[in-house]
Each structure stands twice: as C-alpha cells, then as structure tokens.
Chains A and B, each alone.
Chain A
C-alpha cells in the first residue's frame, strides 16, 4: 500500500569524502528504526529559490520518499509504501 504523507522524520545521512558517496543510512519513523538497504533514485528540484533533494530509499520492510530542504536542513517523509497495491 502506498501512503502519501508529509511529516518530519529523523534521518542519519552518511558522507564518505574518499569515495564521494552520500547515502541516508537510517531513518527513525514513529519511534522505530529502519536501516536503509538501497537508494532507488536521488533527484532534486527547486521550489522558488529553495533546493530540495529527494531520496527514494528502501528498508527491508518499507519504502520511504525522503525530502531534504537545503535551506532549513530539515527532512520530511512524503511517501511510505510496502509495494502492495492500494
């Protein structure tokens, strides 16, 4: 089931300066920790002057669409899915 939401979320983002790699390693949602196993896609867009980075990521049980606001440096989750049809 795909659930569209728009809520703040805690994200642990890792940057490896040697490999020049960035990935969110962990999200904490509703008090539970979800280890990220795969980044499906990263993309970015602007709304006015604000640049947003979108990480579509997967944990073993759930998919998260995480949006990073580069002005406030805050994360929000905009979609959670388990891969089943609604």
Chain B
C-alpha cells in the first residue's frame, strides 16, 4: 500500500495525554526531605567533585546548574548547591505510584521512561470529563495522593509526539493542548530544536533541504522530507507534524548491559577482571530474570585519555550462565591492544532469545547447568544479591552499586513489588 502524501492535519479530537514529572529525581528528594524544598538540589551519579549531575532541581536550574555538569562546576555556579547520591528505590516507588494512579483513568498507560507516561483515553469513561479536566485532576491527585511537592507537566494532543511537545511548552507544572485549532500558532513559536528528536544533525539535514522553521517543516511535502532524511524517517515526520500516530511502537528488548565508572585508574586485565566479573554477574542476573539467553557478548573500554575501544563477538551457541559470559567477556578484554588507565568499563549481551524457545539438549548436560544457575539465582533472590558470589568478586561488596536509568523501564515493569505496601493503608498522612 502506498503512503498517503497529501494529508491534512488530523481532525480527530486530542485523546493522548503526556505526563512528565518535573526534575524527577531532585523533586522526589525534595518531596522526601521537606528541608530541601525551595533550595538548589542536584542528584549526581557520584557526589565527588568530578561526579556527573543527573538531575538538578527547578531552583538549581534557575541558577544555571544543568544536567550533565560536573559537581565541581555546579558548585562553582551555585556554592550552596546540595548534592545528593541517587536513591533508586525511592524513584521506582514514585514511578509505580504514578502508574497506579494513571491506571484509574485508562488501561492504556505507557511508561516512556522513569519520569514520563503516555495515556490514551480514547474510548474510556474518563474521556467524557474532557481532556483538560482530566489533566487538572491528575495534577491535583498527584499532589494529594503521592506527594505535595511533586509537579508534572501535562501535554494533550492527537498523537504522542504532539502531546509530548505540548508537555514541554510550559515547565514546570504546565498544562497545554495542541490540536487542529492551535497547531499553526504553536508551530510559529517553536524552533526546530524545540521538537523532540531534532537536534543539531537533523537541523543541518533540514537546513540543507531549505527548511529553517517549524512552519517550513510542517509545510514541506512528504517527498521533500524523505529526501532531507534520506529515509522513511522523513515520512514519519510528515505524519507526526500533522497529528497522525507513528510512535505507538513498543520495541523488543535488544540487549542487557552494565557499566562502571572507575574511581581508580586500573590498567591491566588482571586488575579489571573482578570488576568485569561483577558487571557480568549483574547483567546475567537481569537477563535471566527477564527470561533471555544470549549469543553475543560485547565489552567496551573508555580510557582516561578520552580514547575508546570496544569489541563484540557472536558465539556459536546461546549461553545463560555468568561463568560462560565472563569467559567470553574476559577473552574480549584480553584482545584490547592498549594498556592505559581505564575510566569506564562496560559489558553487554546482545543477540537475545527467549529462554522458553530454546531447543532441548540431547544429553541433558545443559539442563543440569540450568538448574544449578536457577538454584543460585533463587538463593540470591531470597537472601539478598551476591550471597553466593564468585571468588573473583570477593571484597567488591560496595562497588558497582544499584543504579536507576531514565530510559530503560522495561525491567521496572517486570519487578514484582506490588506486595510492597500493605493493602490501602495511607502512609502519606501528616500529623
């Protein structure tokens, strides 16, 4: 079927709601500790001077502290900046509370990241209240039921892209709609880089095609955009800007990986081996928990001089045991031609296949190994991570700690923590 190329703006009423928790990690920290409210706060991967700021609070942002800055730079701009380490379970709990609240409006709730949700209200009773009313009600309920300091920006549109764009129009605490009545006014006020997915490279591509503003982008024909992006991506932009849905795609899991920024400059494979082992353990446990086996192992090294080396191998058979993954990863590590101080070590497993779809082993050896690994995983799950641990990892209890990622919430959705809180007891009450 040919793609239609003379589409008008989607006339359907907006039914998609995008919700974005403002300055997520920092706001949650201020929610937890009321003494931090109204003060510049930043959550950093490490609180040491060279640690990276991953979430500045609204107050810190106003003073010029930005995401990705070093702690020392943040403190130079704002000497009273309060720097906190991440507390992943705090953020995961708030994410799940938000999800439960949003589920009362529609079954179609899609977490896009730890701090973003998309809701489709089409055909659900809540839609009858009116989208703006639902947006206001959600904001009020979040303050009442989850945390009085939490603010969210809500965007409403006929497709996911326009709902997200609407959510970014006023931050923090915004509530905006983009629909057939106002899209041209809003496009006229935006720059190309205000659009999610358009940064420097794509701006250059569009400029080369004679497109300099969002209105130019909207008025460009389908073929003009396909030529600018040199792919079908151009047509997707053509649909997106006209309010037609192209982003309701859930991607399958492609890989599992863990990385670690080394506080000490280790050089030799022997020094790096215990860290590699722990990274492999964490990756392997997550992979098996999600029900996958792997056929590909990849190791990446970022050196302190800024250079980078990486290599990945596809194995002859699918593997699941961390001992086998480690053997492959260590073999790759030995191939690195450089003996330089390492800043960052990363390992990942790719070429995944669901464990349930694996062929049975004729002689049963694989089954024995599988049962052993399952037993070790069960013991670790019951008694705590790394209760049974490889000898190579001894003394590494406090390295490579739990982290929470912004984008990857696939595993969070699989975590069974619904039994964390006893029935409907209210823990948010104040004296």
A85 touches B82 (CB 8 A): yes
B383 contacts the other chain (Cβ, under 8 Å)? yes
Query: 0/1 per residue, B61-91, Cβ < 8 Å to A?
Result: 0000000000000000000111110000110
Contacts of B427 in A (CB 8 A): 22-23, 39, 42, 53, 55
Interface of A is mostly: strand
Contacts of A31 in B (CB 8 A): none
Task: Please measure, in the bound complex, the distance between the C-alpha atom of A51 and the C-alpha atom of B425, giving whole angstroms.
Answer: 16
Contacts of A22 in B (CB 8 A): 425-427, 429
B431 touches A44 (CB 8 A): no
Contacts of B89 in A (CB 8 A): 43-45, 54
List residues 19-39 of chain A with CB under 8 A from any CB of chain B: 19-23, 25, 35-39
Closest chain-A Cβ to B142's Cβ sits at a distance in Å of 13
B428 contacts the other chain (Cβ, under 8 Å)? yes
Interface range, B side:
35 or more
Task: Please measure, in the bound complex, the distance between the C-alpha atom of A43 and the C-alpha atom of B32, giving whole angstroms.
Answer: 10
Task: Please measure, in the bound complex, the distance between the C-alpha atom of A86 and the C-alpha atom of B34, giving whole angstroms.
Answer: 17
List residues 33-64 of chain A with CB under 8 A from any CB of chain B: 35-51, 53-56, 58, 63
B384 touches A63 (CB 8 A): no
Task: Please measure, in the bound complex, the distance between the C-alpha atom of A54 and the C-alpha atom of B90, giving whole angstroms.
Answer: 9
A2 contacts the other chain (Cβ, under 8 Å)? yes
List residues 383-408 of chain B with CB under 8 A from any CB of chain A: 383-385, 387
Contacts of A39 in B (CB 8 A): 427-430
Contacts of A43 in B (CB 8 A): 89-90, 93-94
Q: Which of A2, A47, A58 has the most CB of B within 10 A?
A: A2
B421 contacts the other chain (Cβ, under 8 Å)? yes
Contacts of B417 in A (CB 8 A): 44-46
**Contacts A2-B82, A44-B421, A46-B417: A56 and B429 contacting too (C-beta < 8 A)?**
no
B34 touches A40 (CB 8 A): yes
Task: Please measure, in the bound complex, the distance between the C-alpha atom of A48 and the C-alpha atom of B392, giving whole angstroms.
Answer: 22
| B420: contacting residue among A45, A56, A58, CB under 8 A | A45
| A83: contacting residue among B36, B90, B380, B429, CB under 8 A | B36
Nearest B residue (CB) for A23: B429
| B32: contacting residue among A53, A56, A85, CB under 8 A | A56
A9 contacts the other chain (Cβ, under 8 Å)? no
Contacts of A45 in B (CB 8 A): 89, 93, 417, 420
| B33: contacting residue among A23, A36, A48, A58, CB under 8 A | A58
**Contacts A38-B430, A39-B427, A63-B35: A46 and B382 contacting too (C-beta < 8 A)?**
no
Closest chain-A Cβ to B222's Cβ sits at a distance in Å of 48
List residues 259-281 of chain B with CB under 8 A from any CB of chain A: none
**Contacts A48-B381, A48-B382, A56-B33: A21 and B80 contacting too (C-beta < 8 A)?**
no
Nearest A residue (CB) for B381: A48
Contacts of A35 in B (CB 8 A): 431
Contacts of B34 in A (CB 8 A): 38, 40, 58, 63
B384 touches A47 (CB 8 A): yes
Task: Please measure, in the bound complex, the distance between the C-alpha atom of A27 and the C-alpha atom of B239, giving whole angstroms.
Answer: 58
Task: Please measure, in the bound complex, the distance between the C-alpha atom of A9 and the C-alpha atom of B89, giving whole angstroms.
Answer: 22
Nearest A residue (CB) for B424: A20
Task: Please measure, in the bound complex, the distance between the C-alpha atom of A81 and the C-alpha atom of B37, giving whole angstroms.
Answer: 13
Task: Please measure, in the bound complex, the distance between the C-alpha atom of A56 and the C-alpha atom of B431, giving whole angstroms.
Answer: 14
Nearest A residue (CB) for B423: A20
Closest chain-B Cβ to A58's Cβ sits at a distance in Å of 5
A81 touches B33 (CB 8 A): yes
Task: Please measure, in the bound complex, the distance between the C-alpha atom of A85 and the C-alpha atom of B383, giving whole angstroms.
Answer: 36
Task: Please measure, in the bound complex, the distance between the C-alpha atom of A19 and the C-alpha atom of B82, giving whole angstroms.
Answer: 36
Task: Please measure, in the bound complex, the distance between the C-alpha atom of A58 and the C-alpha atom of B34, giving whole angstroms.
Answer: 7
Closest chain-B Cβ to A84's Cβ sits at a distance in Å of 8
B429 touches A19 (CB 8 A): yes
A44 touches B93 (CB 8 A): yes
Closest chain-B Cβ to A36's Cβ sits at a distance in Å of 6
B431 touches A38 (CB 8 A): yes
Task: Please measure, in the bound complex, the distance between the C-alpha atom of A44 and the C-alpha atom of B228, giving whole angstroms.
Answer: 50
Task: Please measure, in the bound complex, the distance between the C-alpha atom of A3 and the C-alpha atom of B373, giving whole angstroms.
Answer: 40
The 7 A-B residue pairs with the shortest CB-CB distance in the complex, in nearest-first order: A83-B35, A42-B427, A48-B384, A43-B93, A56-B32, A45-B89, A44-B420
A-B contact pairs, 28 of them (CB 8 A): A2-B84, A19-B426, A21-B425, A23-B427, A23-B429, A23-B431, A38-B431, A39-B427, A39-B429, A41-B32, A41-B90, A42-B427, A43-B90, A44-B89, A44-B420, A44-B421, A46-B417, A47-B385, A48-B383, A48-B387, A54-B90, A63-B34, A81-B33, A81-B35, A83-B36, A83-B39, A85-B81, A86-B82
Beyond contacts A22-B426, A23-B430, A56-B33: 12 other A-B pairs, Cβ-Cβ < 8 A, are A15-B425, A22-B427, A23-B429, A35-B431, A41-B31, A41-B32, A46-B420, A47-B385, A54-B89, A54-B90, A58-B33, A85-B83
